Amino acid sequence: MVIKKATKTKQKAVKKVRPKKSNTKKIVAKNKSVKKVANNKSKIAPYKPKKNEKYMSAAMKRHFIAVLLLWKEHLREEMQKTFDHLRTKGETYADPIDRASQEEEFAFELRTRDRERKLINKIGISIEQIKQDEYGWCESCGDEIGIKRLEARPTATHCIDCKTLDEIKEKQLSG
């Protein structure tokens, strides 16, 4: 099975503590420094299956529930930060350029929040699937999605082969 290498570990965890009401005047340096939707579930070490351990054993399931919960919590914090930020930065600037960049920034943050909300939703579904014993199998072909892929993408619902195939089809349809 081909496993795509996780390319997203680069994004460093954004500082945990939000500054206490400091009037952070600096405009979040041009979106780029703002982290994309948090991929941060790296605080739990990857699961090491025992010899002959069966796929999605009870221990494995516990592991992924922990991973998903932590991720969700992290996203919630991120959303709260965005929310606080939007609220505290509600003032309007006189300078049209400042205003324009502020609006751009707000729009960006709203999109981020929306993505985070969707992701939190997906995480909830995955947790539910674990409880129902339906987690970890490809929804298209029924094969194991595989631990490696799930570590990189705990909400994955398809194996890499089906996923790749889907993407190719999508490209053909849109191209």
* Contact flag: residue 146 with Zn ion (CB under 5 A): no
Q: Toward Zn ion, which CB reaches closer, 78 or 151?
A: 151
Minimum CB separation from Zn ion for residue 117, in Å?
27
Minimum CB separation from Zn ion for residue 7, in Å?
21
Among candidates 65, 42, 163, 68, which has minimal Cα distance to 121?
68
Pick the binder of Zn ion from 65, 86, 162, 165 (CB under 5 A).
162
Strand ranges inside the chain, DSSP E: none
* Contact flag: residue 165 with Zn ion (CB under 5 A): no
Binding to Zn ion, residues 76-105 (CB under 5 A): none
Distances (CA, A) of 108 to 4, 86, 111, 173: 29, 11, 5, 29
Q: Is the dihedral of CA 150, 155, 159, 161 positive or negative?
A: negative
Strand ranges inside 109-163, DSSP E: none
Among candidates 18, 126, 144, which has minimal Cα distance to 66?
126
Minimum CB separation from Zn ion for residue 168, in Å?
14
Q: Toward Zn ion, which CB reaches closer, 133 or 139?
A: 139
* Contact flag: residue 168 with Zn ion (CB under 5 A): no
- Whole-angstrom distance, CA of residue 96 vs CA of residue 102: 10
Select the span of 23-31, 64-72, 107-115, 131-139 touching Zn ion (CB under 5 A): 131-139
Minimum CB separation from Zn ion for residue 138, in Å?
3
- Whole-angstrom distance, CA of residue 125 vs CA of residue 34: 27
* Contact flag: residue 140 with Zn ion (CB under 5 A): yes
* Contact flag: residue 138 with Zn ion (CB under 5 A): yes
Binding residues for Zn ion, per CB under 5 A? 138, 140-141, 143, 159, 162
